[in-house]
Structure 1
């Protein structure tokens, strides 16, 4: 009897496995993939995000509704998050209590179809961000 390895390509769609794991902030599959991840320069990450970001957000939103992967906040967030009191931060990347990810995505109309109904209550709560 043979055992079949689970084919993860369908999980990531058209995004290559190692690219998907990198952009989804998942651990590399092995040493070779770890080395490849280390070699991805910031400009290369932006290019990978531009090529595969939409698919990555769809995968992420299915797994973690009301949130986005860490790289999305650096590469694709259209505007900075507001502080929990509704004011903009005094300077970029200021530590503080910020609006929850779900509140941000909802305010900007960035939730995917059907995502709102699956968002856990915690994703709406303000987030203490220490940068």
Structure 2
């Protein structure tokens, strides 16, 4: 039986599947939908989807998702906003790469110890909520002498989502008034990535 929370999340979802609606709202868990559909949504693999791919889902439902999200969590945005709507890095940032001009402008790094794998290795840059998704844990075997593992006592820190949105002028005056001052404090990459699922095959550079 669906919980009251799920019923509330699905309000206005129309014919979209429960898994797709949860995915749009960053609420997809292992007990929602079939495992193949969850994987298809997260990896953007159309063959495993019951309905539209993530880009079409977001285009169709972004307004209703964002309206509720901003009301409940001012000063932040869901992961698909970061993937599709966040400001883009200018063309020429990654010259001669197919993803040049397609990647979201990242959140500013403000401190901490650790090297994102994409900064050294030949990785297509992949981010989650505006920060690099892949790092070397301090307990893992060394990937490269150039990679500095995350220091758990002093992990990489980034500007908060609220600070990013404020820097780009992406909050209305009404939203900004409702953002608690604590939400402007820098965030640890460990905390930011806590909600990200590590897929073995990211099919695109997402936000």
Q: Provide the C-alpha distance between the structure 1 equivalents of 2:24 and 2:56, rounded to a whole number of angstroms.
A: 11
- Distance of 1:107 and 1:70 partners within structure 2: 18
Match in the other structure for 1:118? 178
Gaps spanning 5+ residues in structure 2: where? 46-52, 88-104, 120-124, 126-131, 136-155, 194-207
Two-structure CA RMSD over aligned residues (Å): 3.5
In terms of Rg, which structure is larger?
Answer: 2
Structure 1 segment 25-104 matched on structure 2, within 5 A? 25-27=26-28, 33-35=33-35, 36-40=37-41, 41-42=43-44, 44-78=53-87, 79-84=105-110, 91=119, 93=132, 96-104=156-164
Contact 1:60-1:69 within 8 A present in 2 as well: yes
Superposition TM-score, scaled by structure 2 size: 0.47
- C-alpha change, 1:115 and 1:57, in structure 2 (3 Å) is same
Distance 1:111 1:39, change over 3 A: same
Alpha-carbon separation, structure 1, partners of 2:163 and 2:106: 13
* Bigger helix share: 1
Q: Number of paired residues? A: 123
Deviation at 1:65, TM superposition (A): 0.8
Distance 1:10 1:45, change over 3 A: closer
1:44-65: CA deviation from partner (whole Å, max 9, x where unpaired): 1122112222321221111111
In 1, Cα distance between equivalents of 2:10 and 2:169: 26
